[in-house]
Amino acid sequence: MAPLSQQMQQLSETCSHCSLRYLCLPDHLDSHDLEKLERLVDSGAPVLAETELFAQGEGLTHIYAVRNGSAKTVRIDEEGFEQILGFYYPGDILGFDGFADQHHHCSAVALETSHFCRIPVDQLDALVDELPSLRQRLVRLMSQVLSEDGRMMLTLGRKDSEGRISSLLLGLSRRRALRGMPASSVPLNMKRADLANFLSMRLETVSRVLTRLQRAGVIKVSQNRVDILDRDALRERSSRGAWVADQS
């Protein structure tokens, strides 16, 4: 339950007044440039849970910023396997991977009823040519994703189930903190199957690990929400069990 004032702020139509401007595209833009960006943004109707924002293979027409709510991106690879690539929260941008060849390489789906800012790519493209600050911002955001992907590969490759869950929870918590939301109470808006898919575990294992962590007094689980009781213990578990690579 965020206070009403905060909700209003987040839903404000203009980037300049958006509480997320320092996380999102607008960061580092001066008010003049920001105004131009603002004019591109279309904050449309609410998107219902399970609704696709864009589909894999589709042409790239817009990128999206999460305004409120949450989303996931899913890719189905050549062999038909489905992989959740990430979860997205207010201020995050969806659609960067489409710039490669002007087609989306994954689908984006709302996890709950959410609002998104739609930004038409062609106009953004033109504006980027005009505003060096915007280009830099864009490159930085993409580069950030790259470096987060690296971290994720490490998690998937090196950590055991407990480490993966712990890392995920800490990550979600950290991202809440960035947004000024209570970091010790993390809502799991996605289903267990989504978590399992994302972390490359079976959902039974997700369940087991969550209860194990609960029994150990590290977290408190209640269906769609996890309270972090002992952050240090969680941190400890997120790296314990990760195995060290052989020396080259």
Partner DNA sequence: CACTGCGATTGACCTGGATCAATACAACCA
Partner DNA sequence: TGGTTGTATTGATCCAGGTCAATCGCAGTG
The rounded distance, in Å, linking the Cα atoms of 33 and 26 is 9
The rounded distance, in Å, linking the Cα atoms of 131 and 36 is 9
DSSP 2: -
Looking at beta carbons only, is 17 or 225 nearer to DNA? Answer: 225
Q: Residue 54: exposed, middle, or buried by beta-carbon count in 10 A (0-12, 13-18, 19+)?
A: buried
Looking at beta carbons only, is 10 or 63 nearer to its own copies? Answer: 63
Looking at beta carbons only, is 56 or 161 nearer to DNA? Answer: 161
Does position 149 interact with its own copies (CB under 8 A)? The reply is yes
Does position 200 interact with DNA (CB under 7 A)? The reply is yes
Coil/strand/helix, residue 181: coil
Site for its own copies in 50-109 (CB under 8 A): 75, 77, 79, 81-83, 85, 96-101, 105-106
The rounded distance, in Å, linking the Cα atoms of 170 and 162 is 12
Of 1-9, 40-48, 209-217, 239-247, the segment contacting its own copies by CB under 8 A is 239-247
7, two tokens: 């909700």
Site for its own copies in 189-228 (CB under 8 A): 190-191, 193-194, 196-197, 199-200, 202-203
Q: Residue 218: exposed, middle, or buried by beta-carbon count in 10 A (0-12, 13-18, 19+)?
A: buried
How many residues interact with its own copies (rule CB under 8 A)? 57
The rounded distance, in Å, linking the Cα atoms of 21 and 34 is 10
Q: Which does 210 bind (CB under 5 to 8 A by kind): its own copies, DNA, none?
A: DNA
Does position 2 interact with its own copies (CB under 8 A)? The reply is no
DSSP string of 108-163, one letter each residue: EEESSSBEEEEEEHHHHHHHHHH-HHHHHHHHHHHHHHHHHHHHHHHHHHH--HHH
Which one of 13, 58, 129, 227 is in contact with its own copies (CB under 8 A)? 129
Does position 13 interact with its own copies (CB under 8 A)? The reply is no
Does position 223 interact with DNA (CB under 7 A)? The reply is yes
Looking at beta carbons only, is 27 or 160 nearer to DNA? Answer: 160
Which one of 206, 218, 219, 228 is in contact with DNA (CB under 7 A)? 206
Residues at the contact surface with DNA, assessed by CB under 7 A: 160-162, 191-193, 200-208, 210-211, 221, 223, 241, 243, 248
